[in-house]
Amino acid sequence: ARFSYVRMKYLFFSWLAVFVGSWIIYVQYSTYTELCRGKDCKKIICDKYKTGVIDGPACNSLCVTETLYFGKCLSTKPNNQAKLGDQGNLSELVNLILTVADGDKDGQVSLGEAKSAWALLQLNEFLLMVILQDKEHTPKLMGFCGDLYVMESVEYTSLYGISLPWVIELFIPSGFRRSMDQLFTPSWPRKAKIAIGLLEFVEDVFHGPYGNFLMCDTSAKNLGYNDKYDLKMVDMRKIVPETNLKELIKDRHCESDLDCVYGTDCRTSCDQSTMKCTSEVIQPNLAKACQLLKDYLLRGAPSEIREELEKQLYSCIALKVTANQMEMEHSLILNNLKTLLWKKISYTNDS
């Protein structure tokens, strides 16, 4: 009787585990297929193109010759929008946007091209690609059609780690996943070259000609690199104009600093006297980049520079926006880090 009870208990919990696991997989799969509907998106875009509502340099390849097609779905997030706030050199920015909007380069922006460009300007990533189109670490904009835009392919779509099927990802603890990811990285000189690329990108978005941009999700999955180990930004949807973020977060009701967060990394403080979020971001982009690079660079670092590298990385992580002479410290730390890394790898084959 005891054996039967134990066996029944075992069978019940086994059945329950299978049921719960199957339900989780079903929900995840339903969400994935609902939001990653490439065929439906293509049909909607091409119908609008064929009726002349939208236009763009990628429309013919997508809808006529069909040499452009949808591959892997990289995001199931339905909304990734931001508005264009006040920017420096606004007239130059408008001219730049008009140049990009003229997809067929005939010197005029048609109604279809204008509608496509307006739809795309609601997407933060597109705006940033236009502004930084001449920068090395921004993927090149290859074309657009309606609110669909095409950018250059990036060979490696994560800073480190191994790509696993999403079903398996569900059952791997996040701590174990991070430890496992660190095992699947390039050689240290190549990691150093990729890290230099990230530091250069931080420079590109820091008080540029069109204002300051804030990196609000500096996770490894948003960074990639090509076969020459040059860093390429894979996902820039959470890089937002500083003016936009201030408008978005100021006066938000808060109980603590935890309520004053945009994305995962842009944090302000909670004013306890008014119970409202302040508008000044606490941590600059460089500090967030160094936090991401700390384990990445220290693992396997040459012994002769490890101590100095660790010291510089921790000084970088400690940077605060509110500190006196922050911009001077920012430039000094960034240049010191780049110099230290370049000196070590400049004569190696891997670099």
Q: How many CB atoms lie within 10 A of CB 305?
A: 16
Neighbours of 324 (CB within 10 A): 7
Quote the mean pLDDT of the chain.
Answer: 81
Class for domain 171-346, per CATH? mainly alpha
Q: Is the pLDDT of residue 185 over 90?
A: no
| pLDDT for 29 | 47
Question: Which residue matches tokens 């189109």?
Answer: 133
Q: How far apart are CA 136 and CA 155, in angstroms?
A: 15
pLDDT band at 24 (very low <50, low <70, confident <90, very high): low
User: In terms of pLDDT, which residue wins out, 262 or 171?
Assistant: 262
Name the residue among 182, 127, 136 with its Cα closest to residue 297. Answer: 182
> 5 pLDDT exceeds 70?
no
**Length of the chain in terms of residues written:** 351
CA–CA dist 216, 245 (Å, integer): 10
Residues 6+ apart with CB under 8 A from 240: 82, 124, 213, 214, 216, 262, 266
pLDDT of residue 267: 92
Q: What would the two tokens of residue 2 be?
A: 């005891």
If residue 141 lies in a helix (H) or strand (E), which one and from where to where? Answer: strand 141-145
Question: Tens digit of pLDDT for each residue in 273-311?
Answer: 999 999 889 999 999 999 999 999 998 999 999 999 999
Cβ-contact 62, 56 below 8 angstroms: no
Domain with CATH 1.10.510 in the chain: 171-346
Indicate the helix (H) or strand (E) that contains 261.
Answer: strand 261-262
184-193 average pLDDT score:
90
pLDDT of residue 253: 93
Percent of the chain with pLDDT over 70: 78
Strand, coil or helix: 231: strand
Tens-place pLDDT, residues 51-62: 888 888 888 888
Q: Which residue has the tokens 């302000």?
A: 268
Task: Work out the pLDDT band at 4, boundaries 50, 70, 90.
Answer: low
- Provide the pLDDT confidence category of residue 165 given band limits of 50, 70 and 90: low
